[in-house]
Amino acid sequence: MRPTTALLTDRYELSMYAALLRDGRVGAPATFELFARRLPEGRRFGMVAGLGRFLDALEQFRFNEASLGWLVAAGVIDDATAAHLAQWRFTGDIVAYPEGEIWYPASPVLSVRATLAEGLVLETLALSIFNHDSAIASAAARMVLAAEGRALIEMGSRRVHEEAAVAAARAAYIAGFATTSNLAAGERHGVPTAGTAAHAFVMAHASEAEAFASQLDAHGLGTTLLVDTYDTEQGIATAVEVARQRGASGPGAIRIDSGDLPSAVAAARAQLDALGATDTKIVVTSDLDEYLITELARSPVDSYGVGTRVATGSGHPSAGFVYKLVELDGRPVAKRAEGKGNVGGTKTAYRHPDGREAFRLDGHTPEGARPLQVAAVSAGEIVHRPELAAIRSYAAHALAALPSAARLIASGPPAMIAELEGEPS
């Protein structure tokens, strides 16, 4: 039996469900939307990720006998609500921004059109997945821009929850990272994996030369040798010497994980070239983020390994999405609280040729504009299952089309805000 995702939620959702069942409002037609009121501080755009994982979780959102038994025993719901939830199936429609799409404040990233109770109980599931995955993709996208075509390796698994690590690797790959160190992400999602050796491997041998020889013999001349366990200059000299003993001008790459990276990289490149190892690449790690990657743009770096700052969303562990009721019984509804208001009504989102994003309440897309939402679920059936490679390609095109204001890595205001155009019909 597949595990249920129905308890990955907050108690108040089922408390509301029980009350709606009692007062007869459980089946009222409703629309809920997931959007952000603002971007994380300093961000100019966001990138959507998490739709695929959300749809997988929706398939498993079932209240089975064991979960219902616990809910009743714990006093969360009564028997009547349990009987109703035992038959729960999502029967509505969902439209969403595809993964890899760019979002701004007010973008209707996910729209759930179903009964009031069906949409209500999906709030926490949707928010937990989209807030996490979109935060990772948004941070990763900025690093991809900063890297200017150089490869990025996601290696943040040891900084987050073990399941969050798998989701983070997937989201970073969507945004344009080349590989991940996380094997579960490789097995589950097909993300290419990479990784060679840590400092412990070097220290486990009698000498650097012995460690490098072991690694080269096990993994071939193209492997990456970690050269800064003791002294970087000596480590590079030893790496080249051991590779030469095996018929190569140098190892496939060296990795530098410490020190002042711009100066360390410049010195390493000069030393490698002087030793004749001109084909040996340089990989850098050590708490990289988009700002340090930008600082390294003019350095002879060939690829970057990024850990903490991508797996934790570059300091922003949530994208800031909220999930609100915007239409009930065919009429717009909206929250009006100061600082937390929103536009009511079901929205159709689109992007103009000049990059501006907007939405309408009459269901129309202006001529020449590109629709942003795709059908994800129709009458309860999932209809959106793109391959990860296609998602990643979509994200690359979305990044390439960013306006210049959004591409700036320095902290600043959002490049735009999604705005209402036209009037409801």
Q: What angle do CA 196, 197, 201 make, to 5 degrees?
A: 155
Is 131 found in the same domain as 17? Answer: yes
Structure tokens given for 93: 């429609």
Mark which of 273, 301, 329 sits at the end of a domain.
Answer: 301
Is there a contact between 49 and 175 (Cβ–Cβ < 8 Å)?
Answer: yes
Closest by CA to 235, choosing from 195, 264, 278, 194, is 264
340 band by pLDDT with thresholds 50, 70 and 90: confident
Predicted local distance difference test score (pLDDT) of residue 190: 97
What mean pLDDT comes out for the span 157-173?
A: 96
Same domain, 294 and 363: no
User: Region 171-185: what's the mean pLDDT?
Assistant: 98
The total number of structural domains that make up the chain? 2
pLDDT of 424 reads 62
> Rounded to whole angstroms, how far apart are CA atoms 380 and 62?
13
- Longest C-alpha distance within the chain, in Å? 81
pTM of the full structure: 0.95
**Residue 1 in this model has a pLDDT that exceeds 60:** no
Answer whether residue 326 is part of any domain: yes
Structural domain harbouring 238: 196-301
* 355-379 average pLDDT score: 95
Tens of pLDDT along 29-84?
A: 999 999 999 999 889 999 999 999 999 999 999 999 999 999 999 999 999 999 99
Please report whether residue 87 resides in a domain.
yes
Q: Which residue has the tokens 């900025």?
A: 142
Is 425's pLDDT higher than 60?
no
Where among 242, 266, 301 does a domain terminate? 301
pLDDT band at 158 (very low <50, low <70, confident <90, very high): very high
Average pLDDT, integer, range 244-263: 96
In a domain, 190, yes or no: no
Going by C-beta distance under 8 Å and a sequence separation of 6 or more, which residues neighbour residue 377?
Answer: 55, 58, 90, 92, 93, 94, 383, 384
Do 221 and 123 belong together in one domain? no
| Lowest model confidence (mean pLDDT) among 176-185, 376-385, 409-418 | 409-418
Query: Which CATH number covers residue 103?
Result: 3.20.140.10
Q: Which two tokens stand for residue 206?
A: 């009698």
- Could you tell me if 385 and 355 lie in one domain? yes
Are 244 and 357 in a shared domain? no
User: Which residues is 110 bridged to in the sheet?
Assistant: 34, 96
pLDDT > 70: what percent of the chain? 99
Last residue of a domain, one of 301, 325, 347: 301
51 shares a domain with 83: yes
* Shared-domain flag, residues 212 and 297: yes
pLDDT at residue 2 in the model: 63
Same domain, 295 and 339: no
Closest to 169 measured CA to CA, from 396, 392, 408, 407: 392
pLDDT at 163 over 90: yes
Render pLDDT for 180-225 as a digit per residue (tens, 0 to 9). Answer: 999 999 999 999 999 999 999 999 999 999 999 999 999 999 999 9
Token reading at 176: 């344009």
CATH number reported for the structural domain that contains residue 273 in this entry: 3.20.20.70
Three-state helix/strand/coil letters over the chain: CCCCCCCCCCHHHHHHHHHHHHHCCCCCEEEEEEEECCCCCCCCCEECCCHHHHHHHHHCCCCCHHHHHHHHHCCCCCHHHHHHHCCCCCCCEEEECCCCCEECCCCCCEEEEEEHHHHHCCHHHHHHHHHHHHHHHHHHHHHHHHHCCCEEEECCHHHCCHHHHHHHHHHHHHHCCCEECCHHHHHHHCCCECCCCCHHHHHCCCCHHHHHHHHHHHHCCCCEEECCCCCHHHHHHHHHHHHHCCCCCCCCEEEECCCCHHHHHHHHHHHHHHCCCCCCEEEECCCCCHHHHHHCCCCCCCEEEECHHHHCCCCCCCCCEEEEEEEECCEECCCCCCCCCCCCCCCEEEECCCCCEEEECCCCCCCCCEECCEEEEECCEECCCCCHHHHHHHHHHHHHCCCHHHHCCCCCCCCCCCEECCCCC
Q: Are residues 270 and 366 in the same domain?
A: no
Read off the tokens for 332: 């717009």
* Dist. CA 76–CA 73, nearest whole Å: 8
- For residue 288, the number of C-alpha atoms closer than 13 Å in the C-beta half-sphere is 32
pLDDT at 339 over 80: no
The mean pLDDT value of the chain amounts to: 95
User: What count of other Cβ atoms lies within 10 Å of the Cβ of residue 97?
Assistant: 25
pLDDT at 387 over 60: yes
> Do 237 and 281 share a domain, yes or no?
yes
Asked whether residue 180 is domain-assigned, the answer is: no
Beta bridge partners of 90: none
* 317: pLDDT strictly greater than 90: no
- One domain for residues 374 and 277: no
Residue 338: which pLDDT band, with cuts at 50, 70 and 90? confident
> Residue 121 to residues 49, 90, 116: CA-CA distances in angstroms?
21, 10, 9
| Rounded alpha-carbon distances, angstroms, from residue 9 to 14, 57, 76 | 9, 12, 12
Q: Are 272 and 236 in contact (CB under 8 A)?
A: yes
Residue 4 lies in a domain: no
Mean pLDDT of the 286-302 span: 95
Q: What is the pLDDT of residue 156?
A: 94
Each residue's pLDDT tens digit, 69-104: 999 999 999 999 999 999 999 999 999 999 999 999
Say whether both 251 and 220 belong to one domain: yes
d(CA 73, CA 216): 59
Whether residue 256 has pLDDT greater than 80: yes
Exposed / middle / buried, residue 298 (Cβ in 10 Å: 0-12, 13-18, 19+): exposed
Whether 329 is covered by a domain: the verdict is yes
Whether residue 77 is contained in a domain is answered as yes
Per the domain annotation, does 1 fall within a domain? no
Whether residue 346 contacts residue 362, with contact meaning beta carbons closer than 8 Å, is answered with: no
